[in-house]
Amino acid sequence: MTEAFGSVATVAWWRDDAAMHRFIADLVASELLAMRKSVDFAAGCWTRETHLDKDLGVDSLELMSLASALAQALHMHESGIEDYLLVRRTLGDWCAIAQASLEKFSARMTFRTSGSTGQPKSCTHSLHALWREVQEAAPMLSGCARLFAAVPSHHIYGFLFTILLPRALGLDGDSVQDLRQSSPARLARDLREGDVIVGHPEFWRMVLRVIPRLPAVVTGVTSTAPLPAEIDEGLRAAGLGNLLQIYGSSETAGVGWRTRSDHPYALFSFWKRATPDGRTLRREGETDGVDAPDQLAWQDERHFYPAGRVDSAVQVGGVNVFPQRVQRELLLHPEVAEAAVRLMRPEEGSRLKAFIVPRDPGADITRLSQALAAWTRQRLGTAEQPRSFSFGDTLPVDQKGKQADWPTATPLACTPMACTPMRHDAINS
């Protein structure tokens, strides 16, 4: 199934038709969502016959953008056949073109993420390095018979653990089950011995909420942010046998791992500290270092705890979201004088909330909250859109004059057509 370790094509993952289709469908769905904002796509329902024009309504400009995104991800310029993407229009066609391209060149891949400004950022990795990571992680997940995925396969974490890991475990792409269009309650019906579930902290929070008991013979994997200790403890109390926690980012790929939230992460064997403060890391065999997304508190040369992000990102549904970017979009609305955006407290929910100072002190806050909800739907991705809007004459501050937290809006009565809020609060439901 795999080619010699260290060869140009470290592992020929693209020869698995199911894995190739899932990667391309996820990438296309993500790019279309970014372009259309308010439209979500069930990529798991798409087949090889799904037509970009006829079925998905892709116009010529969107087609160019989609083709460019796929060509960048797979470095199709190295093989010189990326122009075929503009001629052939089904997902099956694109899979075949991508497979032909990767047979010619597969040494590097590029993953896109949002940087601290919210603008897409390209992160390139050698396939050799990514394959080395899953080879080191695979023994911790031995015995896997099926893999349930709650993450997209075109993001680096999803690619590592839902595309490469199955090959390292000797599974084919058909052994990967997509959970993203299902409630976590599905797991209560479908799980059996040997299954591995690949999720993110918010997914595991939902699992804990709806499944009171998990089979001990099932293993979990989590990444995108450190798993809160209370979720880890709850999953263990519910019977989850093992939970592999991966630390990393799109810039670094996987850097370290642990199996308990109260333990430090251990570096993968091929990583080492590149600077005395341990903020910059370097892969074995590479000359350039890369900065970790967090400040790292080192216990020794090989073990660390994350000590807070340096780019102010927060996690919403497994997605890095930047409250400052959302704040900037709200401030562009002509009726907004000031705005503050924060992540809800755990007891409030897991989405963003916004506090708004209207330009007109007598503004109808119900109407304004609806207008702001529509404004953010047009300009921001789903995870970036605030779920609660609160209003006041000034932004909330503490006794020291620093920006303070505030409770989420609490409506008195809501119907499917209207919401009657408290005087200074409104809900985006």
Per-residue pLDDT, averaged over 216-227, amounts to 89
Higher pLDDT, 146 or 409: 146
Between 91-104 and 17-36, two packed helices, what is the crossing angle to 10 degrees?
A: 110
pLDDT, one tens digit per residue, over 28-40 is: 998 998 888 655 6
Question: For residue 10, what pLDDT band results from cuts at 50, 70 and 90?
Answer: very low
Higher pLDDT, 411 or 260: 260
| Residue-level pLDDT at 350 | 84
pLDDT at 175 over 60: yes
pLDDT at 308 over 80: no
Q: Is 168 exposed, middle or buried (0-12, 13-18, 19+ CB in 10 A)?
A: buried
Weakest-pLDDT range from 65-79, 116-130, 220-234: 116-130
What would the DSSP string read from start to end of 366-395?
HHHHHHHHHHHHHHS-GGGS-SEEEE-SS-
Tell me which residue of 367, 374, 381, 376 sits closest to 418, measured CA to CA: 367
Tokens coding 214: 């998990």
Per-residue pLDDT, averaged over 94-98, amounts to 97
Weakest-pLDDT range from 63-72, 126-135, 150-159, 284-293: 284-293
pLDDT at 9 over 50: no
Tokens coding 239: 């019977």
| Residue-level pLDDT at 5 | 38
Global pTM reads 0.77
| Residue-level pLDDT at 233 | 94
CA distance 76 to 316: 32
| Residue-level pLDDT at 312 | 73
When the pLDDT of each residue in the chain is averaged and rounded to a whole number, the result is 86
Weakest-pLDDT range from 74-83, 161-170, 330-339, 344-353: 344-353
Per-residue pLDDT, averaged over 380-409, amounts to 83
pLDDT at 122 over 50: yes
| Residue-level pLDDT at 91 | 96
| Residue-level pLDDT at 115 | 45
Per-residue pLDDT, averaged over 3-19, amounts to 69
| Residue-level pLDDT at 412 | 33
| Residue-level pLDDT at 293 | 83
Question: For residue 112, what pLDDT band results from cuts at 50, 70 and 90?
Answer: confident
Q: In percent, how much of the chain has pLDDT > 90?
A: 55
pLDDT, one tens digit per residue, over 176-199 is: 999 988 888 888 888 888 899 999
pLDDT at 44 over 60: yes
CA dist list (Å): 223 to 77, 157, 229, 253, 293: 31, 7, 14, 11, 13
pLDDT, one tens digit per residue, over 335-344 is: 999 899 998 9
Dihedrals phi, psi of 306, to nearest 5 degrees: -65, 140
CA distance 110 to 370: 38
Token match 């989850």: residue? 240
CA neighbours within 13 Å on the CB side: how many for 34? 16
Per-residue pLDDT, averaged over 141-146, amounts to 87
DSSP state of 51: B
CA dist list (Å): 119 to 65, 184, 343, 372, 383: 16, 31, 20, 22, 15
Question: For residue 411, what pLDDT band results from cuts at 50, 70 and 90?
Answer: very low
pLDDT, one tens digit per residue, over 278-297 is: 889 999 988 889 988 888 99
